[in-house]
A = this chain, B = another copy of it.
């Protein structure tokens, strides 16, 4: 297992190796998108064996989360939401969303900002959302159009985050999280639970 390629690296220092892997991951995801990126390619870029990448970071999915400093793993987040009582679910989703994206400099919001002006970043985000969020949509929404419903509710929430943390409209930027939870939960609840959307 080769853990040292670049000159000046202390052999076998896990912190240094992890940092190199995370940097390589960001590069490869950005160049190849999420789907086509491989642990093998990321290992090669970092100069380490792919097995070591797996050992430190688990799946490609987890490596994306770690390399983009996302505060939560969307797949774990959905797994956690499944146990939330049905009538508290909408509020919990809004709260999680706002704390993940709501500050102007948050890493999650940086991904969205980058997607706005860069086609490769947009593709990477699209593929990651599909993989991390939409594949598990049906565990939250008991309808055949679960993916559509999750896209619509996530769209509303990211739009509010945009108005709040990017454009800075005081109508939303000056409210605290719980006020926004109260305002937005009924809409999220509708997308989760209404038998018919139209």
Contacts and interface: CB of A to CB of B under 8 A. Distances in A.
A166 interface: yes
Interface in A142-169: 147-148, 151-152, 154-160, 162-163, 166-169
A84 interface: no
Contacts of A112: 116, 162
Interface stretch (A19-27, A50-58, A64-72, A126-134): A126-134
Contacts of A115: 166-167
A22 B139 CA distance: 52
Contact of A148 (B147, B171, B198): B171
B156 A155 contact: yes
A135 to B, nearest CB: 12
Interface stretch (A2-10, A35-43, A74-82, A180-188): A180-188
Contact of A198 (B163, B169, B186): B186
A28 interface: no
A183 B163 CA distance: 22
A172 interface: yes
A163 B31 CA distance: 21
Given A155-B159, A157-B159, A162-B155, A168 B122 contact: yes
Nearest to A109: B116
22 contacts: A113-B116, A115-B167, A116-B116, A116-B162, A116-B166, A117-B117, A122-B168, A126-B167, A126-B168, A130-B169, A148-B183, A151-B163, A151-B171, A152-B160, A152-B172, A152-B183, A152-B184, A155-B159, A156-B160, A158-B159, A186-B197, A186-B198
